[in-house]
């Protein structure tokens, strides 16, 4: 399959062979390469990773692939927004190549390998989406081995995912530097997400309160309030604001996501939440001061 240079103003590789051919040409020119893996439906958060990549490498690849292996059967794979043309327009003049394979290219007939981790994958998201991180780890490993970039960039909004990928890359000695980009937020503080398009106008007004509750709870713990007392109060506040349910709201060790047994942080800490608002699942996090 030849490189697609006619559909959009930015070239698109749809096969691994074409992706590698482009990267090989860049390497012969002595250029460094950054990879920004995405599932498309790009927003300012994704574009901030592209901008960060441009400060760290000569060329930036953005992969667009809605990865079926990280969705459970009851999740929103079919409904997940697919906006390749709009994504390409946003990347024109910023990134240098889109890698947009189909499922058969990524998971050909007979594919039978899964990359799975213990430890950092087990709490929080791991409890509520037990197959999710195996799908993430597998597709990210494939993308890094397919593109062999110098760096790969991921947003801090998916904090646990970032820690999983960092751990996996170190454990497997994959020669790619993992770089986290800061959370991009809307004017009211809502963390940017492709799934925010699912929110109704009324739900959108409620959603903007989540980061405020997190910030207040984090400040209380930083000031000495026991973790469980602050989390209990914050859970009640989230539900009273109109959120449907809470999967988790926890303060954990920033790197390992282990709980703080003493009831107070004794190292770098992060507050993390996953909550439902209507049919939309929202996640957010932030560091403790």
d(C-alpha 68, C-alpha 136), whole Å: 10
Axis-axis angle for helices 227-240, 210-222 (nearest 10): 160
| CB distance 207 to 195 below 8 Å | no
79/279 Cα distance (integer angstroms) = 12
The catalytic site residues sit at 46
Contact (Cβ atoms closer than 8 angstroms) between residue 274 and residue 210? no
Strands (E), the chain: 12-13, 33-38, 59-64, 97-99, 151-155, 177-181, 245-253, 269-277, 280-287
CA distances from 131 to 48, 65, 68, 71, 122 (A): 29, 18, 11, 8, 10
- Torsion angle of C-alpha atoms 104, 108, 109, 115, degrees rounded to 10: -120
């Amino acid at each position: 399959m030849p490189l697609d240079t006619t559909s959009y103003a930015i070239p698109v590789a749809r096969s691994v062979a074409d992706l590698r051919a482009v990267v090989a040409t860049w390497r012969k020119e002595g250029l460094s390469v950054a990879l920004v893996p995405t599932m498309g439906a790009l927003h300012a958060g994704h574009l901030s990773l592209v901008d960060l990549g441009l400060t760290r490498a000569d060329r930036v690849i953005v992969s667009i692939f809605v990865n079926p292996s990280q969705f459970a059967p009851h999740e929103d794979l079919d409904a997940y927004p697919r906006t390749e043309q709009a994504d390409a327009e946003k990347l024109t003049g910023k990134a240098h190549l889109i890698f947009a394979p189909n499922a058969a290219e990524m998971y050909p007939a007979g594919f039978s390998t899964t990359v799975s981790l213990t430890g950092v994958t087990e709490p929080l998201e791991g409890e509520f989406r037990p197959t999710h991180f195996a799908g993430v780890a597998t597709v990210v490993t494939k993308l890094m081995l397919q593109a062999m970039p110098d760096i790969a960039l991921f947003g801090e909004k998916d904090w646990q995912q970032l820690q999983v990928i960092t751990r996996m890359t170190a454990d497997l000695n994959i020669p790619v530097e993992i770089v986290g980009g800061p959370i991009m937020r809307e004017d009211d503080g809502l963390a940017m997400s492709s799934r925010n398009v699912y929110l109704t106008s009324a739900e959108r007004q409620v959603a903007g309160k989540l980061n405020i509750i997190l910030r207040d709870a984090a400040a209380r713990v930083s000031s000495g309030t026991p973790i469980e007392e602050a989390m209990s109060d914050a859970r009640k506040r989230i539900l009273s604001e109109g959120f449907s349910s809470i999967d988790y709201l926890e303060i954990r060790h920033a790197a390992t996501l282990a709980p703080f047994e003493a009831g107070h942080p004794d190292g770098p800490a992060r507050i993390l939440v996953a909550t439902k608002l209507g049919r939309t699942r929202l996640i957010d996090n932030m560091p403790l001061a």
